Amino acid sequence: MEKIMADLLRETLEELGRYAFPRFKRELSKIQPEEQYERIKLESLMGLSRAALAELLCSHYGQPYCVKVTVRVLKAMGRSTLAYALLRRLTDGANFVELYKQIVIQQASNVANVIMALLRERVLTSEQSDSIMSERTNQKRMQKLYELVPMWDVTKKYCLYKVLCATNPILTLAYTAVQAQGSIILKDPWEDIFYPQGPQKHTAELQCEL
């Protein structure tokens, strides 16, 4: 998922101004991560562009923890609005994947390209990809893909959404416009959104109001 997620983090970092971006690096170097992760030292961050830092966050912390760390740093800087904007983009994508499941299964085209993109992003393993592609029709392939979705965290669902945007733009544009009319704002995004909890509970939590 490194390219899609790195793009998302880069776009967030681009919202930081000339002085805020160096402060982000300083705050990042102070963050004490969870036990299985190592802190990134400030000297490793000096001179990095926004794109390079986004890639480092993804490679160093992996998904979904790179998003969690980014949110922690933004909140430590007092940039809660930007933190929530990042999380909302994730959850909007995840909601699309869940709410329009049947539509995606029935109408998605270029499914081979969808599967290949998910394989490149490491959302799917080669075994999963081969199993899905063994089905003969687009609908059956999408049905098999969606058997995996309830076990995915929000970042993987977001990756599927972005892949659908690239491979099925007419489909996603039509229903994203409908979705945008609703209210999908996070109440407390700190812990639960990063891990799968079953599609119904997960979707309900993502749709709660701030």
Q: What is the per-residue pLDDT across 6-44, written as a single tens digit (0 to 9) for each? A: 999 999 999 999 999 999 999 999 999 998 999 999 999
Q: Does domain 87-202 have CATH number 1.10.533.10?
A: yes
**Domain residue spans of the chain:** 2-78, 87-202
Predicted pLDDT of residue 171: 87
pLDDT lower than 50: segments of the chain: 1, 183-193, 195-210
Domain 87-202 in the same topology as domain 2-78? yes
Taking the mean position of all CA atoms in its chain, how far away is CA 91? 8
Alpha-carbon dihedral sign for residues 100, 159, 190, 183: negative
Predicted pLDDT of residue 180: 58
Q: What's the CATH fold of domain 2-78?
A: Death Domain, Fas (1.10.533)
Predicted pLDDT of residue 178: 61
Return the amino acid letter for 210: L
Predicted pLDDT of residue 150: 95
